[in-house]
Amino acid sequence: MGFLSKFLGLFHVDHNSNDDIRVIKESAERYVAVINESLTIANNAKNITTKKSRLGSAKNKLHELKKLSTQYGFLELSNLNDVQLSIQDLEHEISLEISEHGSDKNILGEKYEQEGSIDKAISVYASLVSDKTDTPFTYRRLAILYKKQKNHEKELMAIKAALQNVPKSNKKHYEWFQDSLAKLEKRQC
């Protein structure tokens, strides 16, 4: 992929720098180090969760760094376009891994939600529910999406399915579904 050649570099600093500029420069350099390290780990990770997590960290720090460079004109980012293209490549790679391996349909559902493809997200979560998954996340997201759509009948079905399939030993989550069911039934009265 030639990823290492696309690392983010930093800027030129005015020769008339003072202590404030030095501190800002050091902060920006720390952001760059975190971004580069996170992208390297994401690029080399075999685990999809690690890959996704480290990519998220890199994107957050890049956002902060871009704000900093906008605020302080003496900061100039080099290789920004290459890094952003590398991020897009990694996002695409993650998407393909999720789709091809079906390793975690919840991640795929979450991705669809972030893209605004709510119907696709619901479809993914609903397929997991029909497979009787015991993962609370699936039922919670499905119930929340139905609630946002004001589809209380399907919201109720998702909550009831959770109470059948999420182990009672998963007390915190199980109680969330019990409370949600009570609130929903109260609203319907």
Residue 116 has pLDDT above 90, yes or no: yes
Residue 124 has pLDDT above 60, yes or no: yes
> Tokens 């302080």 identify what position?
72
Mean per-residue pLDDT, 79-105: 78
What CATH homologous superfamily does 105-188 map to? Tetratricopeptide repeat domain (1.25.40.10)
Burial class (CB in 10 A: 0-12, 13-18, 19+), 47: exposed
pLDDT at 162: 94
pLDDT at 9: 54
CA 7 to CA 83: how far, in whole Å?
A: 6
pLDDT digits (tens, 9 = 90+) for 141-170: 999 999 999 999 999 999 999 999 988 888
Domain boundaries, the chain: 3-101, 105-188
- What is residue 51's three-state secondary structure? helix
pLDDT at 99: 57
